[in-house]
Chains A and B, each alone.
Chain A
Amino acid sequence: DAGVTQSPTHLIKTRGQQVTLRCSPKSGHDTVSWYQQALGQGPQFIFQYYEEEERQRGNFPDRFSGHQFPNYSSELNVNALLLGDSALYLCASSPLHRGKTDTQYFGPGTRLTVL
């Protein structure tokens, strides 16, 4: 049973560019959350998707957007990249709406470097 997978593993972009990160949730999970983890910090909640809609959002600007597909996979898009967007981006999934445990399980993350 594959866990949460994310692609790519690493990414280098320059300021002003746009980036798309991808996530496939664990089998049986229908809810996907995205987190940003800066160096030396804990993960910070960006937003959460269920039924292809953004359900809750953290304190991130509109440059951060996302999408969830019918197969529950998800994308995180960041426009007009800033140096401060350099971080590890984590995707987490849970079977939240299927009456099971709502614990979130994390993927390995995508390391984004903005030059």
Chain B
Amino acid sequence: DQQVKQNSPSLSVQEGRISILNCDYTNSMFDYFLWYKKYPAEGPTFLISISSIKDKNEDGRFTVFLNKSAKHLSLHIVPSQPGDSAVYFCAASARRGFTTSGTYKYIFGTGTRLKVLA
């Protein structure tokens, strides 16, 4: 059962335009969401996160939107640059009820390959 889904395996966008990457989740216990970027032969690099108490978080060119009722989040990159070409993963975790002796795990989607065309 895939609890985190990225239904678009790939996306091509012209340089300077907006890139919108989407992610859906099924587990209502998830309360913390993250986006990672991954280049070939490298580990995932953290981009931006959002807690379920918010519906938007911005960091420079990157903005993440969370729609809890639809169990949907999206990553907007504006403006897109050729260096943004990579695979993007969304991840989710359930931190509610976390204690100092407890831990949690991230559930990842299958990724979306973004290609920004110069």
Binding site for B on A (CB under 8 A): 4, 6, 31, 33, 35, 40-45, 48, 50, 55-56, 58, 90, 92, 96-97, 102-109
CB contacts (< 8 Å) of B6 on chain A: these are 42
Given known contacts A43-B89, A103-B49, A106-B36, is B43 in contact with A90 (CB within 8 Å)?
yes
Total A-B residue contacts, Cβ distance less than 8 Å: 63
Interface size for B (C-beta < 8 A) is: 27
Chain B interface mostly: loop
CB contacts (< 8 Å) of B105 on chain A: these are 33, 45, 48, 56, 58
Bound-complex Cα distance A65 to B56 (A): 39
A9 to chain B, nearest CB (A): 9
Query: Pick the contact of B108 from A4, A40, A42 — CB < 8 Å?
Result: A42
Per-position binary interface string of chain B over residues 18-62, scored 1 when its CB falls under 8 Å from any chain A CB and 0 otherwise: 000000000000001010100001111110010000000000000
